[in-house]
Homo-oligomer: A and B are copies of this chain.
Amino acid sequence: MLINELSKRTGVSIPTLRYYENYGLFKGVSDQKVKTNNYKDYEESIVEKIEMVKGAKEAGFTLSEIKKLLESWYNKRLSLDKKVEVVNNKINEIDSKIRQLKKVRKLLSECISDIERGDC
């Protein structure tokens, strides 16, 4: 598919998609032997990749972290054990973020009690 469709399918703007591609999160192909233009073609699997990027971003991961994750994910030369390790590390980071959020949540809940008692 072309970039316009990719944008529509993912809800990510065209400039941002180009930024991501340039950043190295995925790669479209423009085959000059086949086509006269150099329009890039993005395969179906890239939609999935971008959905992952969106999820990870909302979860607070940086593009650099996401890039590393995707790289090990799609790296054929990496051993299964190594891949599992990388992903497990990410899961641990997520668990730690969840704990942090719960801490702040608790702080805020306590604050509500304080407010209701007029302590604040």
Interface residues, chain A, with chain B CB atoms under 8 Å away: 52, 55-56, 58-60, 73, 80, 83-84, 87-88, 90-91, 94-95, 97-98, 100-105, 107-109, 111-112, 115-116, 118, 120
Q: A52-B107, A60-B60, A107-B52 are in contact. Are A115 and B87 (CB under 8 A)?
A: yes
Q: How far is it, in angstroms, between the C-alpha of A100 and the C-alpha of B103 when the chains are bound?
A: 17
Residues of B within 8 A of A95 (CB): 105
Q: How far is it, in angstroms, between the C-alpha of A112 and the C-alpha of B52 when the chains are bound?
A: 15
Residues of B within 8 A of A102 (CB): 98
User: Can you report 17 A-B residue pairs in the complex whose CB atoms are below 8 A from each other?
Assistant: A52-B107, A55-B100, A55-B104, A56-B104, A58-B100, A59-B97, A59-B100, A60-B101, A73-B111, A80-B115, A83-B115, A84-B116, A87-B111, A91-B108, A91-B109, A97-B101, A98-B102
Residues of B within 8 A of A56 (CB): 104
Which of B80, B109, B111 is A116 in contact with, Cβ under 8 Å?
B80
